[in-house]
Structure 1
Amino acid sequence: MSDNTVAIEEGAKKSGILWLTLDRPRLAWHAWHDGGIYLVTGGGEQVLPGLDALDRVRVTLRSKDNGARLVEFEAAVRVVDQAAEPDAVAALAKERLNAPDSVHLTDRWARESTVLRLTPTA
């Protein structure tokens, strides 16, 4: 595992937020699961315009302690088939704080939201 890969994994596990370079820098909450970053957009969740249409996105992870930039990298973007990846969706739902409908959260996501996986690229 390269130093950059270790920094990405450790940074993504320690902090529940990251920055994405979209129409402007966008702050997003996420979950690290099985070597990738999972996030949800739409349907009353965070607004990440155009992310689902991209092949790649620039990601910045910052220190939870002092906000300093830990690592910046490119990631491949893939829309997740929520029914085919229930463990990843469950990991993401676990990180969702203060959901108004936590009992039915994943059902709502399946109907109204897009779950995405960001895979760091070399």
Structure 2
Amino acid sequence: MTVSDNTAAIEEGAKKSGILWLTIDRPRLAWHAWHDGAIYLVTGGGEQRLPGLDALDRVHVTLRSKDNGARLVEFEAAVAVVDQAAAPEAVAALAKERLNAQDSEHLTERWARDSTVLRLTPDH
């Protein structure tokens, strides 16, 4: 697979499926949003638990088909903590993907107070 093919597969897979697998201490399922060439996710503060992810420099990511669960692409990604105040569009994209939040109208305020938003930038 060429670099451009891999980039296209990552983007397509991340856009079509709202979940992915991260290898942290073990494989962990996580919901996410694709925005501006990267994967964004939130952890802590009543959201999904992804212990230790914010301390990593890199993480192994697996994207699977929404239709049949088949592996679409695996890749390494750089991990960075997001300054939520400096990235309102990314946080808004992530909030839009958050299903069944009990406090949806105050979701981003809760995240700013209690959670960590992370950006996973795929290696190409």
Query: Offset at 1:83?
Result: 0.1
Matched, 1:120 2:122: yes
Report the secondary structure of 1:117's partner residue.
strand
Report the secondary structure of 2:54's partner residue.
helix
Query: Offset at 1:99?
Result: 0.2
In 1, distance between residues paired with 2:110 and 2:22?
24
List alignment gaps of at least 5 residues for structure 1: none
Residues 7-49 of structure 1 deviation map (CA, whole Å, 9 limit, x = unaligned): 0000000000000001110000000000000000000000001
Report the secondary structure of 1:110's partner residue.
helix
In 1, distance between residues paired with 2:106 and 2:6?
37
What is the percentage of aligned positions where both structures have the same residue?
Answer: 88
Query: Offset at 1:76?
Result: 0.2
1:67-106 matches, within 5 Å, as 67-106=69-108
Residues 44-67 of structure 1 deviation map (CA, whole Å, 9 limit, x = unaligned): 000001000000000000000100
Runs ≥4 residues deviating over 3 A: none
Query: Offset at 1:88?
Result: 0.2
TM-score, normalised via structure 1 length: 0.99
Which deviates more from structure 2 when the two are superposed, residues 1-10 or residues 55-64?
1-10
2:19 corresponds in structure 1 to: 17
In 1, distance between residues paired with 2:82 and 2:11?
20
Figure out how many residues of one structure are paired with residues of the other and give that number. 122
